[in-house]
Amino acid sequence: MRDKLVAAGLAVHKGRSGIQCGHEAQRNNFPILTPDILISKTKVCVEVDPAHTHAGKENDDRTRNQLLDDVGWTVVRLRLGGLESVGEHDVLAESDSVTNEAIDALVIAVSDAIAGRPGSIRTIKKKQVPAREKPRLGALAEHKHYENAYYVSWRSNSGRLLRLVAMDYGRYLASAEGWEAPRFICGLGLNELPRKEWRTALLDILGKLSDTDFVPVSTFPWGDELFIGEQAPAVRISPKFHLGASVWDLTANIVGADTFTETAICAGTDVQAELHPEAVERGWRIAAVGQRTGKHGIYQEVQLLRPSPADALAAL
């Protein structure tokens, strides 16, 4: 503080010196007070009052002012942290720290006191720090429960934080409803980009969507059916099934089923249920179909497989 006042052009007394004051009735003594800073060749002194040591001690500070005034000294106080005024030359700073603006106001207050001008309370407002804008797109991380899926958190236009998922190697955006697998919202195409470019692509894609666009529209990008055909409803698909998986077991009750291909379950040469062409395009195949007998009769255990994109390329 002393150096800042000197830099501002004030001559200050080196070190600290005591000032003999008159009688203090409350304590019945004649105190020697030591102000923080004495202005050279004047009877003006400066006190710096941090809030953590002066809050609630306003009466003590007023008494100190009066004792010094009684022996001809004018006190200029820099009151920090929003402390209230206790003297007519006070500089009231809302900030807890000494700012350049507070020093400028303090120099003017000291100059007024030296010149014998009437005191003026000066208030220095705390600078408003703009609230740090929260990033709209959160960190991308591999999903804990779904293969080849990634957590995507997005702050919508209304400020609501949406918990989304980039499914199937980043091919499409989805949202979970309850315990079921996330359902399709829109295509992303991240699977065609290097991972380092995903954030930029997502910011561009999601930034163009309105809040109402984040509502799931179907189970899969093409609709709600994994199998199509006459007996497709007899194939039981778990609500947890998702396109990013590499293997999936399910059951079916297809009447007459006695053979299968990579894409269909048949009765003789007649296709009874086949994988949706979009699922086939994404690499899904029927790996095995086994006939089983349960308490309700014959049923099929079906295993679906899907190679990773890297494995699929290696097989070409």
Q: What is the mean pLDDT of each run of 10 residues along the chain (316 residues)?
A: 89 91 90 95 96 95 96 97 96 94 95 94 88 86 96 93 96 92 97 96 96 95 97 96 96 96 96 97 96 90 87 51
pLDDT tens per residue across span 151-192: 999 999 888 999 999 999 999 999 988 889 999 999 999 999
Contact 109, 91 (CB under 8 A): yes
Distance CA 2, CA 107 (A): 12
Distance CA 273, CA 232 (A): 5
Contact 43, 74 (CB under 8 A): yes
pTM of the full predicted structure? Answer: 0.60
**One-letter amino acid for residue 126 of the chain:** K
Q: Cite the DSSP H helix spans in 86-208.
A: 100-115, 198-207
Measured from the Cβ of residue 119, the count of other Cβ atoms closer than 10 Å reads 16
C-alpha of 206 from chain center: 17
Q: Given this model, what pLDDT does residue 16 score?
A: 86
Q: Given this model, what pLDDT does residue 310 score?
A: 62
Q: Domain boundaries in the chain?
A: 2-124, 141-214, 227-315
Distance CA 258, CA 290 (A): 9
5 token code pair: 């006042």
Q: Given this model, what pLDDT does residue 316 score?
A: 44
CA proximity to 240, closest of 219, 222, 221, 257: 219
DSSP assigned state of 223:
B
Distance CA 195, CA 140 (A): 10
R_g over Cα of the chain: 39
Distance CA 270, CA 87 (A): 100
Q: Given this model, what pLDDT does residue 25 score?
A: 85
C-alpha of 297 from chain center: 55
1 token code pair: 């503080």
Distance CA 82, CA 57 (A): 14
Domain 2-124: CATH class, spelled out: alpha beta
